[in-house]
Structure 1
């Protein structure tokens, strides 16, 4: 058997044992894993340095290297995510519905683990820990297939987590890492019906679409983030600048960063030149529509291809519209149903935006950078779902559960 089949089978065998672990046992394991990450920080950074060196040699962009990079602060944050997961309520076993039928049958709907979750992701080794923590907390075994660019980091992280799990009642076989860097290992995972219960892809649009289009295993789709911020006519200039700047430059390499800034014509007349200067000072390349160039002639002309691009970099599209209708139309055409924001003091426009924009997260007067499991109080997140079935938005613990009906009788038979 291949590595993928062997490790998926090990995870499958461990799943039933893991599902029977108590909340206390799972939490204890998460705390031990967090402590181990801190204790082995230098080893993890050393392994990560190997990945970064290969990335530089291969011409990897600065934004992708930022996604890949680990340091003591980031590892501490990752460990804190595990501790926060441990302190969150365990959804497993929760009663969702309860009823008694006229014949005396007691029917209870309870939360249960999904089973074995396959996660396919790219150059973000923090996902390795986030996914492990969320899956184990919900009693799910997990098979991880990270990007080849983070292989050294992921190997070391799994080694550290496995050593910690050996001191607990959780089976370390419930946490598996596929080390085969060839694309064939991904293709194989997509067809592992009977071993994997669901696959969650995390990464760029090409990865996600490959999974969605080719998997026979059920998929929870996480989407690319072409996110917009619309500065309405009545937007407070100070607030608008702060929100737009944060949405773009606080961490441009992530999926909830802003890619296109939409500005009402009247707002642009008064404030666009100054706002463009602020972005220029932060080394953001601006690409603007023809109307933008009238106010800021030094920007690069934008194209329809730009509007459909997730940059994950210090590049920002700027377009000017006549009204909210045009802003909504642009978002509907180019958005990826991830995160969208309106900055306005007009409550009617805000209400309409929040109701009409079809996205997993919609914001009024707040940065799109908050679309994040940690910021929503979920601890870490398994991903941000942009689909509409099962889960949508940041996926915390409840999103990694299914349900079963438990029926208690006293000898009833159906006539």
Structure 2
């Protein structure tokens, strides 16, 4: 490694450490901020998205134009682009988050016969890092979740979304925090777009013990490996790709709607990526399905495939508008393919036969599974009525699926005399009006 490279990495580390140190100075004050003030700041952010629209779109236009000039393909450009409609959707999500009830600090786990009570106490992590690429909306998604969970944040994005993210911080986050009477420094954006700053973020466990990673698979996995070497914990969202199994007794028109709904955006992780058709229906259904995909402008990869069956097209800039099609012997075979050959993000089964659906659902071990519903529903706001920091697909205990503010805490077990614990029954969490109704309601 030459001196220039050493100097570049040293500058990145210094920049990230400065942000994290600033965070630590302000984050302890969040513990005493009233819930109402936290929610007021979120509502102020929603308001600022409307009043600062011109400045935000101008900054984003700069990013998109530069990306287009550099040859960025349409799918990544779509992830990068902000519009008035998307800003409006972001504002709606912030209001929904503000409306969501705060989690109780303490929850009774057991009242023992020896006069002691065991409680679970929720404690903020402290300072949480986040690294994400070319998705300016994630700046607000993560900043708002950290604020609601009373954690500080050091956010880092690459050059592609740098102007947009800086504008969101300067025009939305900082003014909203200031108006709510809070230190704007509790959420920091690393000013250095150099990729070395991403590696710096996952290498300072004394300041940033947990980092949320969102981005391309190879890049995120590399950052995860670096974090492990330094003892930094991560919640990584590296790979995706939705699977749809079209089983026996499926409604052809409904299948076509599911396919279209699953491809409304091509650059997102939960879009349709692999379409498995039951071999008993393959010859009958394939012509109609390929016609639907052709009308949507999506290419088809049919067997034999010159690529792995679970290859994620959203990460292939040149061929993102592609879906892989293959056959499955039965629901168990389809679920095994989804388990063993894809990321395990989300899979759906299309059938009118409950027995077929049950076989697939019980066998698929991934993060989300849908019956006659699009894989695009595996999203924090669509499912839980809350923005998300990302979707965790790790097969270990802990938050799995869309990660929201409710997951960003440390569990502490607390034992106290039962006489000191209020006998007031725990209040039921108010219903979130933005949440989908249960399927069997």
> Is 2:164 the partner of 1:153?
yes
- Residue in 1 that maps onto 2:363: 356
Cα distance change, pair 328–76 in 1 and its aligned pair in 2 (3 A): same
TM-score (norm 1): 0.91
Where structure 1 has 5 or more consecutive residues not aligned to the other structure, the ranges are 291-301, 411-415
CA deviation digits over 1:19-44, x for unaligned, max 9? 22121110011111111121101100
- Residue in 2 that maps onto 1:111: 122
CA deviation digits over 1:157-194, x for unaligned, max 9? 00021122111222211100012111211111111111
Aligned residue for 1:27, secondary structure, equals helix
Match of 2:270 among 233, 256, 260: 256
Match of 1:187 among 199, 209, 228: 199
- Residue in 2 that maps onto 1:315: 322
- Residue in 2 that maps onto 1:390: 398
> Is 2:314 the partner of 1:285?
no
Q: What CA distance in whole angstroms lies between the structure 1 residues aligned with 2:408 and 2:113?
A: 30
Cα distance change, pair 264–106 in 1 and its aligned pair in 2 (3 A): closer
Q: What CA distance in whole angstroms lies between the structure 2 residues aligned with 1:401 and 1:98?
A: 21
Where structure 2 has 5 or more consecutive residues not aligned to the other structure, the ranges are 1-12, 419-441
Q: What CA distance in whole angstroms lies between the structure 2 residues aligned with 1:306 and 1:405?
A: 45
Aligned residue for 2:72, secondary structure, equals coil
- Residue in 2 that maps onto 1:332: 339
> Is 2:272 the partner of 1:245?
no
CA deviation digits over 1:363-392, x for unaligned, max 9? 111100000111112421111110133110
Aligned residue for 2:123, secondary structure, equals strand
Match of 2:241 among 220, 226, 248: 226
After TM superposition, what 4+ stretches of structure 1 lie above 6 angstroms from structure 2? none
Q: What CA distance in whole angstroms lies between the structure 1 residues aligned with 2:334 and 2:152?
A: 43
Please give the root-mean-square deviation of Cα atoms over the aligned residues, in Å: 1.7
CA deviation digits over 1:184-236, x for unaligned, max 9? 11111111111113111011111220122110211122241122100012111
Q: What CA distance in whole angstroms lies between the structure 2 residues aligned with 1:84 and 1:205?
A: 30
Q: What CA distance in whole angstroms lies between the structure 1 residues aligned with 2:156 and 2:145?
A: 16
> Is 2:295 the partner of 1:273?
no
CA contact (8 A) 2:392 2:403 kept: yes
Aligned residue for 1:228, secondary structure, equals strand
CA contact (8 A) 1:117 1:196 kept: yes
CA contact (8 A) 1:232 1:264 kept: yes
CA deviation digits over 1:60-115, x for unaligned, max 9? 0100000000011111111111111000011151425253562x444422222121
Shift of 1:47: 0.3
- Residue in 2 that maps onto 1:304: 307
TM-score (norm 2): 0.86
Q: What CA distance in whole angstroms lies between the structure 2 residues aligned with 1:185 and 1:92?
A: 36
Q: What CA distance in whole angstroms lies between the structure 1 residues aligned with 2:398 and 2:33?
A: 25
